[in-house]
Structure 1
Amino acid sequence: MNSGGKGILYQLKNGCNWRDMSRDLPPFSTVYRYYKEWKDNHGCSSFNGT
């Protein structure tokens, strides 16, 4: 998993604000961009089995 994916999991697990993410991850803007692309491409549907 790339560091953007790790950043998404970190944010979802901890429920923190994007700007409050750990400093050992990429900048929040990069992680948010990965998240938005994943969400816009129906990333959640893989969890729902649809």
Structure 2
Amino acid sequence: MTGPDEEPHVDDFEDPEEFAEAVGVDPTAEQIDEYLAETEKNRGDDS
């Protein structure tokens, strides 16, 4: 889990909606890239 002064990280959330709420309506390009990479990796794990 992230500390109070750290940005939210995709690994801290199982629900994409909760991640979106945590990063706000304007996530950084890096946050989007991390999220997409993590969700792609997780999709492969579910197969």
Classify the TM-score, shorter chain.
0.3 to 0.5
So what's the TM-score if we normalise by structure 1? 0.40
**Larger RCO (CA within 8 A; separation ≥ 6):** 1
